[in-house]
Amino acid sequence: MTTIQMTIEEELLKEMDRTVKKLRTTRSALIRDSIRQYLKMIHIQQLEAEHRAGYSKQRVTKGEFDISESDRGWGE
């Protein structure tokens, strides 16, 4: 692991310390987990944007997803 130095607002630090105490973890662990979660969220947003862009370029054609009632497999 690499050690870094960062600047943080006093109120945010206090809130982080309260959370660290409740979770019985460390500042470093909380920050690492938060960064991982944030990066995952950004990745998902990028994939969703690509998905939307793909569908806007390739529109659904009329009847493309039509399926008969008996083929839907709703179960009994």
Residues in the chain with pLDDT < 70?
A: 69-76
Residue 73 has a pLDDT of 67
- For the stretch 23-35, pLDDT in tens is 999 999 999 999 9
Nearest to 12 by CA among 30, 29, 25: 30
Residue extents of the structural domains in the chain? 18-57
Q: Are 20 and 30 in contact (CB under 8 A)?
A: yes
Whether the Cβ atoms of residue 20 and residue 27 lie closer than 8 Å to each other:
yes
Predicted pLDDT of residue 4: 93
For position 25, what pLDDT does the model report? Answer: 98
Which residue type does 69 have? E
- Cα(10)–Cα(3) distance, rounded to whole angstroms? 21
Query: Residues 51-69, buried b or exposed e (16+ Cβ, 10 A)?
Result: eeeeeeeeeeeeeeeeeee
